[in-house]
Structures are given as C-alpha cells and as structure tokens.
Amino acid sequence: MVKILYRRVLLKSLLLLFAGLAWYNGASAQSFSDRMSGHMGRKVRLGFKLDPGASVMRPQETGVDRNSGKFYFSYGVLADFLLDASGNYAIASGLQISHMGSVLKYAVGKGLSRFNSAPSEYDLRLQYVEVPFTLKLKTATAGGVDIYGQFGGFAGFPVRARANVISGTQKFDKENVLREITPINAGMIIGAGVEYPLTETLTGVVGFTFQNGFVDVTRNAKWNDGKVNVNNFVLRLGVYF
C-alpha cells in the first residue's frame, strides 16, 4: 500500500513537471527567473525539483531500535538568490513537501502510553513542510557543465504524522500521532552536484544531498524514548527556468 501511494505521488509530480516544461516551450524566450528578477530588483533563479532517497530515524537510547528505514520523497520549488554577477555564489532556498519515516521497535514501558504495556513496533510516516537555507558555490567547466557544492541548514514543520502500530498481539492502523511529534525540526544540509544547460533558458540539476536533523523528532515527554533524530540521503533532480 505504501509503495502504491508513493508511486501515485511520484506520477503526479512527474506530470506536474512535464506540464511545466510544456508551459515553458510555449512561453517567450525570456526566462521566468529573469522576469521575476526584474520585478524584485535582484537576480534570482527559480526552479522545480523532485528528490527521491532514503530516510532513517536514529534512536539514541537503549530500549528503542530501528528495524528499517523508509523511502524518502520530496518535491517543491527551488530559489537561488545570486550574490554576484557571474552567478558563482548564491543563497539557495525554496519550499518543499517532504515524506520520511522509519520502523522503530520499542521495549515495554517505552513509546506512547496507550501502546507501551507490551513490546511495540511503530511504522512511522511523517510529512513536513521544509524551508532550506544554504550557501551555494558553483564553478564552470570547459564542457559547459557547472559543478556546485552547498552547505547550510533547514527548518521543517510537521503537517501529517501516521503510525501503524503492532503492540503485543494487537494491531492499530493509521494512528494519528501528529500531536506527539515535535512541532519543529531543524538541522544541517550538505550537498553537491552538477548543473547542465538543456536550452538557452532551461538548466537541469542532478546532485546528492545529506540532511541531518538535530532535533528530537518524537516528543520525549510523550514517548519516553530519549532523542530520536531523522537523517535523509537524497538524490536531487530538478530544473531551473
């Protein structure tokens, strides 16, 4: 069921991307980013990205173990605010919807009070609205391909949290645990990749990103599980218009 859901999300996102490309082909030669720059009085590049990857939650206290990670998927808007005329330095930001989680196993007395009378397994599925904020450095090669690296942080806000729970011999599906999730997540982003021209005004992006969460995702007062942070290993696929 989870795989089917993610396939549907991926299909819808790809359709949105193809629709955007079709709109671009029918638009004027001046890029959308250039028009926005004129209105904003500064140079900005805008784009769209789809990021598949892997998500793992890291328990750091005995009595809590990770059985497996989850498929990570993120989609959203890219926004590079250029700091120089050549475009080699930029503040990279944007807005994205991210899906992540893990399967965690809790000993007796650990986890949510309504399930902790027996050893329990939680299949956690989390959805966040995230805002990255990184310094992006880029250099050009002789072949016309740009290589970039970026470092910075992010802030995320949970908008959906569900858990399939097996407690002893009982099974509970699609439990709403949003109130038991810390209302803000933050951490570090480090990444690198390449940008390559597709047309005069369309640029493709391929890269890898590591997202390291610093915040205890599960509220300790609710879960009694110490610190549990989430790390994401991401493949960046995107285009700038």
Residue 228 lies in a domain: yes
Cα(44)–Cα(194) distance, integer angstroms: 18
Q: Considering the domain boundaries, does residue 88 fall inside one?
A: yes
pTM for this predicted structure: 0.82
| Rounded (to 5) percent helix, strand, coil in the chain | 15, 60, 25
Over residues 100-122, the mean pLDDT reads 96
| Domain CATH code at residue 235 | 2.40.160.20
Q: How many structural domains are present in the chain?
A: 1
Q: Quick one: tokens of 35?
A: 């028009």
In a domain, 132, yes or no: yes
Q: Is residue 168 part of a domain?
A: no
Assess if residue 53 is contained within a domain.
Answer: yes
Span 64-73, mean pLDDT? 96
3 state DSSP class of 144: coil
Count of helices and strands (H, E) across the chain: 3, 9
The mean-pLDDT minimum among 65-69, 131-135, 186-190, 199-203 falls in: 199-203
Alpha-carbon distance of 207 to 199, in angstroms, equals: 19
> Is residue 115 domain-resident?
no
Q: What string of DSSP letters covers 85-122?
A: TTS-EEEEEEEEEEEEEEEEEE-TT-S-TTTTTS-EEE
Q: Is residue 110 part of a domain?
A: no
Secondary structure (3-state) at 33: helix
Question: pLDDT by residue (tens digit) across 144-200?
Answer: 899 999 999 999 999 999 999 999 999 999 999 999 999 999 999 999 999 999 998
Which of 107, 112, 108, 76 lies closest to 94 in space, CA to CA?
76
Q: Is residue 164 part of a domain?
A: no
As given in the structure block, the two tokens for residue 207 are 């890269």
pLDDT at 85 over 60: yes
Q: Is the pLDDT of residue 123 over 80?
A: yes
Report pLDDT digits (tens) over 5-50.
Answer: 444 544 444 444 444 444 444 443 344 445 444 444 458 999 999 9
Give residue 83's domain range: 2-103+126-156+183-240
